[in-house]
């Protein structure tokens, strides 16, 4: 439906016709957003989940772009740059829709290989696994196999050594470590071959030393490329965060200064090349497949949005008094600024993975997006805990950490890992873990305001878990059912208290710390209760399956199945529906007769 309506939109020649069709298109996009959100939640493959999230992010931003680009084209039908601008939006939306089709129909089962070549991070991980495997089995792979794996990794390091944006110091270190890695592998192969022929104690000790030295060298190489990529990203993001080029393009466009616009479009093209290169290098060190896909999505966004801003700026310079041309440029600039802002969060996520702060824990990225904070939070100054405060709260944080392990252990005992109770329990455990990291001055929660927001989201997830427990209890008849409901009522009460505490307004250093302490304490209490609820639910489920109780048909729980937040390493942070209401307002307020 969306593709068919898009074709109609592309061919319209009057504002009246465009408004009618776009109104239909907006409704279809809302429905499509719900459907793709459901499919995204259903997907078990994290890689496909991240690809779906990337496609949905493109469609969300492009829907607004399609509106303003089409209006501009209709207002200035003879303007070539306006046509190029509009065509670019339609093309990108089609690519995103094609990717959605591929994911939901699984029509390209081998397509994962086409996404991107292996990253340095994953290459080193696989190489080290093979090397360490020699301790158990000297014959499970050939020396040629190991040499080829190292060659592939070192070829990828050329992305860093050949880059104009890699510092001289990083380049030299990477080249030195690459050379050392070859030497360490040669020594390893030599001892390995000898050990295959004669398995003496001395040779096995030499092999162990060679394995350790090879792995250590690879770790140093990984650390060096990570440092090169992240330091470049931090510098570029800091340098471009003032958006001076975009501001200059808006000003010179309104002035109709074609010469100045041409000058600033060259600067934007240079900025685009820097940011694209940054994304490519970050992908190598991203650490997880979903984060790799997020880097690829970011690279594509900069690659496509840069030329679109240029065509929009050229259109405005040719028609400086056109309100719609000015609005169109604003929309594309906002998309660029939004992607830059997202890169800062992505960089933090990549660093957290590298430093082991996240490990296998899925920290929920439920922090407010830049510019999306609640109005009453604007006056509050973000505060970090000082060393003394961290020391005071350390014991409480440690208790919370131990409880997250207990909850994880209980959720793993459930046979059905897709069960709603399990999903919410895992989500709460992940959020509690991020709050524990905050008490150590680590993780994604950087300020007290971040912590309070996370506590609110945690409490909301708790209320959803209670809803799932009630739905589950409706299906069972057992002596333990009243106990389950009683514990569920306790949980809902605790979550409400936590929400009240998290939302309470405080001022001053002492009051803020007291609120932090209260939030952590109440989160700990919720997690303690969760450790009792999960085994009780699991036991009830097993008893009913075994025939010791009566299990009624399951109601359609899926209607309420919406995750609170998602993997950061991806654009999944978006809400479950696109921002369509603003589009409807645009359509309603569309000005047909625009003064020249």
Average pLDDT, consecutive stretches of 10 residues, N- to C-terminus, the chain (596 residues): 92 89 88 86 85 90 91 94 95 94 76 61 91 83 87 94 93 95 93 84 86 91 94 93 93 95 96 95 91 93 96 96 95 93 89 68 38 35 65 79 84 84 89 86 80 92 91 78 87 93 88 91 94 88 65 38 36 40 46 35
Domain range list for the chain: 1-115+241-355, 120-229, 387-545
For 551, phi then psi, to 5°, come to: -110, 115
120-229: CATH topology is 1.20.120
Q: What count of Cα atoms within 13 Å lies in the side-chain half-sphere of residue 221?
A: 34
Residue 300 backbone dihedrals phi, psi, to 5 degrees: -60, -40
What is the C-alpha to C-alpha distance for residues 367 and 577, in angstroms, rounded to an integer? 18
Per-residue b or e along 524-560, where b marks 16 or more CB atoms closer than 10 Å to that residue's CB: bbbbebbeebbebbbebbebbeeeebebeeeeeeeee
Longest dimension (CA), the chain: 91
CATH code assigned to 387-545: 1.20.120.230
Residue 522 and residue 497 in contact, taking contact as beta carbons nearer than 8 Å: yes
pLDDT score of 369:
33
State the SS3 of 235-294: HHHHHHCCCHHHHHHHHHHHHCCHHHHHHHHHHHHHHHHHHHHHHHHHHHCCCCHHHHHH
d(CA 269, CA 275): 10
> Do the two domains 1-115+241-355 and 387-545 of this chain adopt the same fold?
yes
Token pair 């104690």 is found at 201
Instruction: Quote the pLDDT of residue 23.
Output: 86
For residue 306 the two structure tokens come to: 């840069």
Look-up: residue for tokens 């792979």? 141
- Which of 494, 406, 402 shows the shortest CA–CA distance to 439? 402
What pLDDT, on the 0 to 100 scale, is given for residue 164?
A: 92
Note the pLDDT of residue 398.
79
Q: Which pLDDT belongs to residue 387?
A: 67
What are the structure tokens assigned to 516, written together? 């932090």
Among the four given CATH numbers 1.20.120.230, 1.10.3260.10, 3.30.1340.30, 1.20.1070.10, the one describing domain 1-115+241-355: 1.20.120.230
pLDDT at 571: 40
Per-residue pLDDT, 394: 75
CA 34 – CA 28 distance, rounded (Å): 10
């Amino acid at each position: 439906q969306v593709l068919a309506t898009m074709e109609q939109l592309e061919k319209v020649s009057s504002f009246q016709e465009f408004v009618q069709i776009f109104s239909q298109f907006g409704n279809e996009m809302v429905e499509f957003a719900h459907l793709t959100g459901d499919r995204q939640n259903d997907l078990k493959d994290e890689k496909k989940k991240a690809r779906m999230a990337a496609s949905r992010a493109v469609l969300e931003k492009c829907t607004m772009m399609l509106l303003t680009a089409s209006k501009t084209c209709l207002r200035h039908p003879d303007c070539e740059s306006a046509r190029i601008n509009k065509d670019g939006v339609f093309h990108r939306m089609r690519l995103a829709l094609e990717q959605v089709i591929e994911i939901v129909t699984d029509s390209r089962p081998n397509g994962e290989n086409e996404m991107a070549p292996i990253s340095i991070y994953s290459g080193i991980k696989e190489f080290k696994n093979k090397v360490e495997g020699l301790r158990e089995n000297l014959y499970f792979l050939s020396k040629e196999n190991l040499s080829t794996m190292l060659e592939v990794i070192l070829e990828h390091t050329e992305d860093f050594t050949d880059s104009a944006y890699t510092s001289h110091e990083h380049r030299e270190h990477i080249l030195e470590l690459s050379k050392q890695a070859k030497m360490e592998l040669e020594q390893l192969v030599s001892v390995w071959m000898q050990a295959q022929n004669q398995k003496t104690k001395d040779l096995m000790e030499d092999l162990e030393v060679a394995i350790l030295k090879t792995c250590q060298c690879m770790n140093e190489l990984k650390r060096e490329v990570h440092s090169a990529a992240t330091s470049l990203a931090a510098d570029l993001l800091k340098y471009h965060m003032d958006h001076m080029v975009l501001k200059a393009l808006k000003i010179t466009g309104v002035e109709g200064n074609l010469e100045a616009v041409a000058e600033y479009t060259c600067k934007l093209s240079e900025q685009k090349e820097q940011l694209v290169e940054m994304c490519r290098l970050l992908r190598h060190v991203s650490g997880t497949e979903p984060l790799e896909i997020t880097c690829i999505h970011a690279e594509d966004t900069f690659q496509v949005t840069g030329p679109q801003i240029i065509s929009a700026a050229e259109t405005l310079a040719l028609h400086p008094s056109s309100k719609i041309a000015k609005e169109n440029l604003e929309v594309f600039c906002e998309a660029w600024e939004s992607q830059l802002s997202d890169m800062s969060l992505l960089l933090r996520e990549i660093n957290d993975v590298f430093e082991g702060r996240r490990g296998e824990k899925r920290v929920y990225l439920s922090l407010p997006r830049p510019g999306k904070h609640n109005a009453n939070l604007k006056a509050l100054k973000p505060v970090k805990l000082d060393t003394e405060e961290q020391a005071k709260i350390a014991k409480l944080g440690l208790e919370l950490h131990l409880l997250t392990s207990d909850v994880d252990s209980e959720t793993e005992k459930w046979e059905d890992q897709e069960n709603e109770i399990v999903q919410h329990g895992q989500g709460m455990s992940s959020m509690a873990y991020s709050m524990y990291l905050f008490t150590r001055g680590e993780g994604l929660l950087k300020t007290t305001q971040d912590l309070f927001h996370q506590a609110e989201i945690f409490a909301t997830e708790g209320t959803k878990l209670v809803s799932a427990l009630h739905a589950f209890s409706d299906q069972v008849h057992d002596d333990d059912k009243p106990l389950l409901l009683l514990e569920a009522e306790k949980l809902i009460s605790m979550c409400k208290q936590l929400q009240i505490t998290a939302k309470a307004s405080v001022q001053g250093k002492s009051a803020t710390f007291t609120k932090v302490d209260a939030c952590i304490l109440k989160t700990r209490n919720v997690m303690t209760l969760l450790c009792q609820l999960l085994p009780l639910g699991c036991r009830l489920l097993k008893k009913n399956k075994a025939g010791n109780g009566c299990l009624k048909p399951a109601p359609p729980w899926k209607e309420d199945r919406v995750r609170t937040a998602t993997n950061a390493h991806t654009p999944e942070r978006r809400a479950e529906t696109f921002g369509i209401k603003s589009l409807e307002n645009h359509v309603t307020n569309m000005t047909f007769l625009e003064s020249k």
